[in-house]
Amino acid sequence: MNSAVIVFPGSNCDRDMAEALHLVSGRAPHMIWHREPTLPDGLDLIAIPGGFSYGDYLRAGAMAAQSPVMRAVREAAERGIFVLGVCNGFQVLAESHLLPGALMRNGGLSFVCRDVPLRVENSQSAFTARYQADEIVTFPVAHHDGNFQADEETLDRLEGEGRVALRYADAVNGSARNIAGILNEAGNVLGMMPHPERAVEPAHGRTDGRRLFEGLIEAVLQPA
């Protein structure tokens, strides 16, 4: 799998994401600086990592969404290339309108940094194909602005179309309907607050995140 990790000033999970992609796919990803107007040819996956791009100025992800590289990411997403946004990456995707809704300050106001159980709500997507529907997996979260909000109509549509990929098993940050991760309409863009890249090898304490990357590799190697 040929992948790229987008790096913004203030990204701090870009190395973790790169290590996870290298480990699981056997191939080091391209590291793409935010000023790049174009992406390498032949990409299968673009990962937007966690962190605090542009210091979370204005709103988390708002400035990154305006960066030159995001225009290229938007075009790639429209061509069907897989895009995974984790944590700040999810915020960037929402601010870029590649995913609906918004991520607000956590309901309890506290930064939440711990392992949380998640329910896999949709195991049909490329990202979640290696999980069982309703399976409970445990990923770390570490965020201050993970409180997913959208209007009721949007939430109903997301649920109805199977676009809620992951849901917190217990309330974590005030997210509407405990939503932890959502897909775009075409199913090739996933935004999620929990960190799969921090759960890919035994030294991490758990490996539940590994199957997310394995599912993508499988989808890339054997297109439907």
Partner 1 sequence: MKTRVYVTLKNGVLDPQGKAIHHALEGLGFSGVNDVRAGKLIELDLDPGVSDADVEAMCRKLLANTVIENYRIERPETAA
In the complex with partner 1, the residue whose CB is nearer, 41 or 152, is 152
Contact present, 40 and 28 (Cβ < 8 Å)? no
Task: Give the active site residue among 13, 34, 95, 195.
Answer: 195
The answer to whether 13 is a known catalytic residue is: no
The binder of partner 1 chosen from 88, 96, 147, 178 (CB under 8 A): 147
The binder of partner 1 chosen from 2, 12, 123, 149 (CB under 8 A): 149
Beta-bridge partners for 11 = 51
In the complex with partner 1, the residue whose CB is nearer, 12 or 66, is 66
The answer to whether 153 is a known catalytic residue is: no
One symbol per residue from 90 to 119: x for binding partner 1 (CB under 8 A), - otherwise; what is it? ----xx----xxx-xxxxxx----------
Closest distance to partner 1 from the beta carbon of 149 (Å): 6
The binder of partner 1 chosen from 5, 43, 150, 199 (CB under 8 A): 150
In the complex with partner 1, the residue whose CB is nearer, 62 or 142, is 62
The binder of partner 1 chosen from 2, 15, 23, 59 (CB under 8 A): 59
- Torsion over CA: 201, 31, 4, 184 (sign): positive
Is residue 56 at the binding interface for partner 1, with CB under 8 A as the rule?
A: no
The DSSP call for residue 128 is T
Task: Give the active site residue among 13, 87, 95, 143.
Answer: 87
- Measure the CA–CA gap between 28 and 42, rounded to whole angstroms: 14
Residue 152: exposure state from Cβ atoms within 10 A (0-12, 13-18, ≥19): exposed
> DSSP H helical segments within 44-201, as ranges?
68-78, 88-95, 152-160
Task: Give the active site residue among 34, 121, 143, 197.
Answer: 197
Closest distance to partner 1 from the beta carbon of 210 (Å): 33
- Measure the CA–CA gap between 178 and 124, rounded to whole angstroms: 20
How big is the chain by its Cα radius of gyration, in Å?
16
Longest dimension (CA), the chain: 43
> Helix or strand or coil: residue 39?
coil
The answer to whether 185 is a known catalytic residue is: no
Q: Phi, psi (5° rounding) for residue 125?
A: -80, 160
Note the residues at the interface with partner 1 (CB under 8 A). 58-59, 62, 66, 94-95, 100-102, 104-109, 147, 149-151, 174
**Active-site residue set:** 87, 195, 197
